[in-house]
Amino acid sequence: MSEDAIRLIGLSYAYPDGTRALDGVDLRIGEGEKVGLVGPNGAGKSTLLLHLNAILRGDGSVKIFGLETGPPNLKEIRRRVGLVFQDPDDQLFMPTVFEDVAFGPLQMGLPEDEVKGRVEEALGRVRLGGYEDKAPHHLSDGEKRGVAIATVLSMDPRMLVLDEPTSNLDPRGRRSLIRILMNLPQTQLIATHDLDLILEVCERCVVLDGGVVVADGRSVAILSDRDLMEGHGLEVPHSIHHLNTGEH
Ligand SMILES: Nc1ncnc2c1ncn2[C@@H]1O[C@H](COP(=O)(O)OP(=O)(O)OP(=O)(O)O)[C@@H](O)[C@H]1O
Ligand SMILES: [Mg+2]
């Protein structure tokens, strides 16, 4: 059996104001799996993702490739897990795009030439070659999203954790991101309301609601289960709906 990339046991988390965002989550994701994470607004998706590189620490156990996410392992965990935040403004903090995308590789101690090469490649993949000297806060929302994704691609992490990666992307940017994700061999966990992206990229899908995993299985089966989807504030995507009903 392949190694577990993610292993959560009884993960619970309450924010300081008392909001209970996760309520005993058990989840196991094998290395190389691509898994979609869906659920209504406020389900706890982002909160869950923030535990995977120990930005938040709840009760229960979080293991990444067998390593517990406590302080002694923080550096190694953050090398392994490339997390793209829901809000790019949380990701981009350097004066230029180049410095933001170079930040991870520099932290990893890579030589300057390699850092430059990685920045160029990562920006090229998100179609933002030539943006190196721009200030991230001057970019459009979609451009910021692209740079945020590049900051993670440049680190070539063992696992990609993406929170709403397609929001604000135009159709061409979305299509090229889907292609990138399909072609990358790494383990991926993708929280999104873009259910068609899940159908294309992720064989497996987990539904979270009220801080609890309410379903876990093959994406096609989960996303076409109308009762399940509507029971949790979601809807069967049109692409499947049409398949089932023969409508056009
Ligand atoms: N900093 C915070 N302080 C207090 N409560 C918070 C905080 N951040 C999130 N919450 C609450 O925790 C719950 C889970 O929020 P979370 O952002 O994880 O949901 P989500 O599934 O990512 O939703 P969305 O689809 O809107 O991104 C919500 O009830 C939210 O109001
Ligand atoms: Mg969220």
Main-chain dihedrals φ then ψ at residue 161, nearest 5 degrees: -125, 115
Whether the CB-CB separation of 81 and 186 falls below 8 Å is answered with no
Main-chain dihedrals φ then ψ at residue 134, nearest 5 degrees: -75, 155
> Which of 3.40.190.10, 3.40.50.300, 1.10.579.10, 3.30.2320.80 would CATH assign to domain 4-245?
3.40.50.300
Write b or e for each residue in 165-183: b if 16 or more Cβ atoms lie within 10 A of its Cβ, otherwise e.
bbbbbeeebbeebbebbee
At 244 the pLDDT is 56
Strand, helix or coil for residue 216:
strand
At 70 the pLDDT is 86
DSSP letter at 131? -
What ligand 1 atom has the least distance to the C-alpha of 17? Answer: 4
At 13 the pLDDT is 98
Cβ neighbours of residue 50 closer than 8 Å, sequence gap 6 or more: 56, 83
| pLDDT tens-digit profile, the chain (248 residues) | 458 999 999 999 999 999 999 999 999 999 999 999 999 999 999 999 999 999 999 999 999 999 999 889 998 999 899 999 999 999 999 999 999 999 999 998 999 999 999 999 999 999 999 999 999 999 999 999 999 999 999 999 999 999 999 998 999 989 989 999 999 999 999 999 999 999 999 999 999 999 999 999 999 999 999 999 999 999 999 888 766 555 55
At 103 the pLDDT is 96
| Ramachandran category for residue 18: left, alpha or beta (phi over 0 → left; psi -120 to 50 → alpha) | left
Residue to substitute in 45, 162, 192, 206 for testing ligand 1 pocket (most ligand atoms within 8 angstroms of CB) = 45
What ligand 1 atom has the least distance to the C-alpha of 47? Answer: 18
**Ligand lying closest to the C-alpha of residue 163:** 2
**Ligand lying closest to the C-alpha of residue 207:** 1
> How far does the centroid of ligand 1 lie from the alpha carbon of residue 55, in Å?
14
Longest pairwise C-alpha distance within the chain = 56
**Cα 52 from Cα 7, distance rounded (Å):** 10
> How far does the centroid of ligand 1 lie from the alpha carbon of residue 104, in Å?
27
Q: Strand 4-14 vs strand 20-30: parallel, antiparallel, or unpaired?
A: antiparallel
At 240 the pLDDT is 86
Complete edge-to-edge strand list for the sheet that includes strand 67-68: 20-30, 4-14, 59-64, 67-68
Q: Strand 59-64 vs strand 81-84: parallel, antiparallel, or unpaired?
A: unpaired
**Cα 161 from Cα 85, distance rounded (Å):** 9
Whether the CB-CB separation of 163 and 46 falls below 8 Å is answered with yes
Nearest CA to ligand 1 atom 31: 42
Residue to substitute in 20, 25, 41 for testing ligand 1 pocket (most ligand atoms within 8 angstroms of CB) = 41
Ligand 1 shell residues, CB under 6 Å: 15, 17, 19, 21, 39, 41-47, 86
Distances (CA, A) of 18 to 15, 40, 234: 5, 20, 26
- Asked whether the CA dihedral 209, 212, 215, 217 is positive or negative, the reply is positive
> How far does the centroid of ligand 2 lie from the alpha carbon of residue 220, in Å?
22
> How far does the centroid of ligand 1 lie from the alpha carbon of residue 41, in Å?
8
Domain ranges of the chain: 4-245
**Residue 65 corresponds to which tokens in the numbers above?**
């490739």
**Cα 76 from Cα 168, distance rounded (Å):** 31
What ligand 1 atom has the least distance to the C-alpha of 19? Answer: 5
What ligand 1 atom has the least distance to the C-alpha of 86? Answer: 27
At 242 the pLDDT is 65
